Amino acid sequence: MSKSPAKAPASFAHYRPETRLVHSGTLRSEFGETAEALYLTQGFVYATAEECEARFKGEDPGFIYSRFSNPTTAMFERRMIELEGAEACRSAATGMAAVTTAILAPLRAGDHVVAAKALFGSCRYVVEDLLPRYGIESTLIDGLDLDQWQKAVRPNTKSFFLESPTNPTLDVLDIPAIAEIAHAHGARLIVDNVFATPIWQSPLALGADVVVYSATKHIDGQGRCLGGVILSSEAFIAEHIHNFMRQTGPSISPFNAWVLLKGLETLAVRVRAQTETAGKVADFLAAHPKVSRLIYPGREDHPQAATVRKQMRAGSTLVGFEVKGGKAGAFRTLNGLRLARISNNLGDAKTLVTHPATTTHQRLSPEARAELGISEGFIRFSAGLEHPDDLIADLDAALAAA
């Protein structure tokens, strides 16, 4: 074999997640660097024509071209594999590139997809608008109602798609039960696990077949770059994803993969601190007279608290709440905040607040929003790494003025 730097990394899969997040996948170069190297290269050179031929035949495991393989990207993917307990991973330029690839690549015209209608706006666009343009039918249902999953299945149903907790109303869908319905009909379940994070929920262990992430959110968690991840079995990636990504090129930049790889080192620490803060904020908001509704998966009054206990290790870094006074009340609250910033993003070290009705879910009709529980007064709160007492004081002042 050649002297390529593609030597397989040692496995850290038997260690606990915190340890895997720091060590898994590291490929050290001949210089023995401490931090993972950033291989900003488009391609690779070969010692001989024979080596080049072997690489293309797949007989030599080295790298060929950064559209589909790069040492920095490979380190990021290996770390994600060992974190998630998957067999294989491919990373993509954005979360949407990962979601679109995971949904579209295995399908052909005539196939059918069932999805929960409470989806991140762009995911809903892919299922509802994009797929039908290529002859792939889709049905959107209330994901909390197991009967609706069952009844939506057709002979040509190939995939189920859901996110849990949902964006932005933080419903928690029963992943094992939905996986069972999918498998009984020969379909696969794809889960967008962004809101739960790999720290609090492991969909593959719960019966899902494919997990997707927007790594833009908690995995970077510091507002720097976009990225996406698809995790599944070796067979699914080889059969459906590898060639699609290799030939169509929704690839991640090695630079972004390096940022995300370093983001993973602190993921567990950040998510734990942000979740603890979200819990304190939720308790404060639940008792506030200007708050008419509070949703937090870590509280006993969450509508699916039993499902949370069954499939999640803790609540969430996100809190949903409705202020009295509709859109005007929500806008006065947002405009009164000094620390928490108005944004459409989430999972950041900085606390971010979103008004879904006029931003992420603006595309939907008022009826569709009402159906999802996204009222005019609804606010999504993404807890950052600030001191929880400072955030609570910020909310207290904003609500007092609202």
- Residues of this chain that interact with ligand PLP (CB under 6 A) are 94-96, 99, 120, 122-123, 163, 167, 192, 194-195, 214, 216-217, 226, 228
Asked whether the beta carbons of 67 and 249 are under 8 A apart, the reply is yes
Distance CA 94, CA 120 (A): 14
Distance CA 270, CA 265 (A): 10
* Closest distance to ligand PLP from the beta carbon of 103 (Å): 11
* Closest distance to ligand PLP from the beta carbon of 213 (Å): 8
Q: Judged by CB, which is closer to ligand PLP: 214, or 333? A: 214
Question: In what order do the strands lie in the sheet containing 188-192?
Answer: 88-92, 228-232, 210-214, 188-192, 157-163, 112-116, 137-141
* Closest distance to ligand PLP from the beta carbon of 123 (Å): 5
* Closest distance to ligand PLP from the beta carbon of 374 (Å): 15
* Closest distance to ligand PLP from the beta carbon of 168 (Å): 9
* Closest distance to ligand PLP from the beta carbon of 62 (Å): 29
Q: Judged by CB, which is closer to ligand PLP: 117, or 290? A: 117
Q: Judged by CB, which is closer to ligand PLP: 192, or 394? A: 192
Angle between helices 267-286 and 388-401 (to 10 degrees): 40
Tell me the C-alpha to C-alpha distance, in Å, between residue 371 and each of 166, 202, 355, 368.
14, 28, 17, 5
Q: Does the bond joining 168 to the residue before it have cis omega, within 30 degrees of 0?
A: yes
* Closest distance to ligand PLP from the beta carbon of 383 (Å): 15
* Closest distance to ligand PLP from the beta carbon of 227 (Å): 7
Distance CA 283, CA 295 (A): 10
Cβ within 8 Å of residue 304, ≥6 positions away: 144, 171, 172, 173, 174, 297
Residue 35 φ then ψ, to 5°:
-80, 150
Q: What is the DSSP string of 101-140?
A: HHHHTT--TT-EEEEES---HHHHHIIIIIHHHTT-EEEE
Place of tokens 């709440």: 321
* Closest distance to ligand PLP from the beta carbon of 216 (Å): 3
Cβ within 8 Å of residue 71, ≥6 positions away: 5, 6, 27, 37, 39, 63, 254
Asked whether the beta carbons of 275 and 314 are under 8 A apart, the reply is yes
Q: Judged by CB, which is closer to ligand PLP: 226, or 352? A: 226
Cβ within 8 Å of residue 373, ≥6 positions away: 169
Strand partners, 231: 89, 211
Q: Judged by CB, which is closer to ligand PLP: 153, or 162? A: 162
Strand partners, 379: 321
Number of H helices, E strands in the chain: 17, 12
Write the DSSP symbol of residue 86: -
Q: Judged by CB, which is closer to ligand PLP: 258, or 284? A: 258
Q: Does the bond joining 165 to the residue before it have cis omega, within 30 degrees of 0?
A: yes
* Residue whose C-beta lies closest to ligand PLP: 95
* Closest distance to ligand PLP from the beta carbon of 276 (Å): 21
Q: Judged by CB, which is closer to ligand PLP: 292, or 359? A: 359
Q: Judged by CB, which is closer to ligand PLP: 94, or 232? A: 94
* Closest distance to ligand PLP from the beta carbon of 191 (Å): 10
Q: Judged by CB, which is closer to ligand PLP: 92, or 330? A: 92
Q: Judged by CB, which is closer to ligand PLP: 316, or 333? A: 316
Q: Judged by CB, which is closer to ligand PLP: 162, or 182? A: 162
